[in-house]
Amino acid sequence: MGRLTTHVLDTASGKPAAGLEVRLYEADGTAPIVKTRTNDDGRCDAPLLEGDAFKASTYRLEFEAGAYFDATGFDLPEPKFLDTVIIRFGVSDADLHYHVPLLISPFGYSTYRGS
């Protein structure tokens, strides 16, 4: 059974990004399918989607990086270089596990399809 998961690592501190707000949308949707926060390990407590709710489609993950860095005490200029990080990605086979990690710092990010 397929599922979608994520986690966030704060590369500026070398730690998991705990308490970061994550929202999942269908790619062109206006209302989130899921709204959650990362736990102390930088992961969500449950898959974002799984089973029949997880389907082949294009999705959009939004990560509130600016608010996270504010909460951790980083002194960032306004406007922030990165505020909401948006990752748009496709799922072609909903029977597989899609893991979309985010590595963030106040001035850059990267992602990949993990396992």
3-state SS string for 53-88? HCCCEEEEEEEEHHHHHHHCCCCCCCCCCCCEEEEE
Q: Residue with structure tokens 């389907």?
A: 55
Which whole number is the average pLDDT over 9-16?
97
Q: Quick check: 32 pLDDT over 90?
A: yes
Summary mean pLDDT of the chain: 96
Phi, psi of 91 (to 5 degrees): -115, 115
34-63 mean pLDDT:
97
Average pLDDT (27-39) is 96
Domains of the chain listed by start with CATH number: 3-111 (2.60.40.180)
Residue 101: phi, psi to the nearest 5?
A: -80, 155
What pLDDT is stored for residue 42 in this prediction?
A: 98
